[in-house]
């Protein structure tokens, strides 16, 4: 038996999310179906670093599974790429230690969120960025990002639908905004993220960017430990799971 670790990418547009569910197409089900086919119908379970919601994309999702097939690494990559649908890609395949676990061993993650900040919508980026037509104050949003860095109780930035039972204290090691023309990329790196946390952070930062709140208000929102204190949840299609750290 060999444990394999794969870096996978997906366009979340046509998926009901990562995790297998009774209705709707999921990334997990597509990959498990291909692996099952490769293993003569045997069930092969995959474990990911975490779930992503419907419409959310991944550039560096990590999964693991075990197999008794004798295939070299580039053969795995070629076979999976050929058999998977066009909206899932295997970027890399590695051998992993027998005790490696894609979810429990993560030490951190990076998410990116793309906002297209111009008057007119862009048809060709509609699935991959959130269109915000009103002008945004980048400096105010960057100031708020600085306040976000560090260890905080992020209860205010966690969906009420969370299943997390422990505390909601997480550390954001990096929060920043890269500007390229009219496209803003929000970058968040941290030890762990709560349910919808990045989308609520972005929704809140955009309210600071359009002048609804001062940047300092974000500290007050954190202290409130109440979801209703923070801003709206930004839509899923601007969000990318960018990288998983081990």
Name the β-bridge partners of 180.
Answer: 183
Residue with tokens 């709560």: 194
The window from 9-17, 104-112, 167-175, 228-236 that contacts a copy of itself (CB under 8 A) reads 9-17
Q: What is the distance between the alpha carbons of residues 97 and 1, in angstroms, rounded to a whole number?
A: 11
Phi-psi region of 18 (alpha: psi -120 to 50; beta: other; left: phi over 0): alpha
Q: Nearest distance from residue 140's CB to a copy of itself, in Å?
A: 29
Q: Does 57 bind a copy of itself (CB under 8 A)?
A: yes
Residues 104-123 that bind a copy of itself (CB under 8 A): 120-121, 123
**Is residue 108 classed as helix, strand or coil in its secondary structure?**
strand
Residue number, 91 or 224, with CB nearest to a copy of itself:
91
Asked whether residue 128 is marked as a ligand-binding residue, the answer is no
87 is annotated as an active-site residue = no
- Listed residue (237, 136, 138) closest to 178, CA to CA: 138
**Residue of 2, 9, 67, 173 that binds a copy of itself (CB under 8 A):** 9
**Residue of 2, 20, 33, 87 that binds a copy of itself (CB under 8 A):** 87
Q: Does 131 bind a copy of itself (CB under 8 A)?
A: no
Q: Does 53 bind a copy of itself (CB under 8 A)?
A: no
- Quote the longest CA-to-CA distance of the chain: 59
* Sequence-ordered list of residues with C-beta below 8 angstroms from that of 212, at least 6 positions apart, any chain: 231
Residues contributing to the annotated binding site for substrate:
111
Catalytic residues: 53
């Amino acid at each position: 038996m060999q444990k394999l670790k794969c870096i996978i990418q997906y366009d979340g547009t046509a998926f009901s999310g990562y995790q297998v569910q009774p209705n709707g197409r999921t990334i997990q089900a597509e990959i498990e179906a291909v692996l099952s086919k490769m293993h003569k119908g045997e069930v092969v379970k995959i474990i990911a670093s975490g779930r992503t919601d419907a419409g959310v994309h991944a550039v560096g999702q990590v999964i693991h599974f075990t197999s008794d097939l004798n295939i070299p690494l580039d053969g795995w990559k070629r076979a999976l790429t050929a058999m998977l649908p066009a909206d899932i890609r295997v970027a890399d395949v590695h051998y992993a230690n027998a005790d490696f676990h894609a979810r429990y061993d993560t030490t951190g993650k990076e998410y990116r969120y793309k906002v297209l900040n111009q008057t007119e919508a862009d048809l060709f980026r509609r699935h991959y960025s959130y269109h915000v037509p009103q002008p945004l104050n980048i400096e105010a949003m960057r100031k708020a990002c600085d306040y976000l860095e560090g260890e905080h109780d992020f209860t205010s930035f966690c969906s009420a639908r969370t299943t997390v039972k422990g505390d909601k204290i997480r550390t954001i090691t990096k929060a920043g905004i890269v500007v390229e023309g009219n496209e803003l990329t929000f970058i968040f790196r941290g030890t762990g993220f709560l349910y919808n946390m990045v989308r609520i952070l972005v929704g809140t930062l955009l309210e600071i960017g359009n002048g609804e709140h001062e940047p300092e208000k974000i500290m007050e929102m954190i202290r409130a430990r109440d979801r209703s204190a923070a801003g709206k949840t930004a839509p899923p299609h601007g969000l990318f799971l960018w990288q998983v750290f081990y």
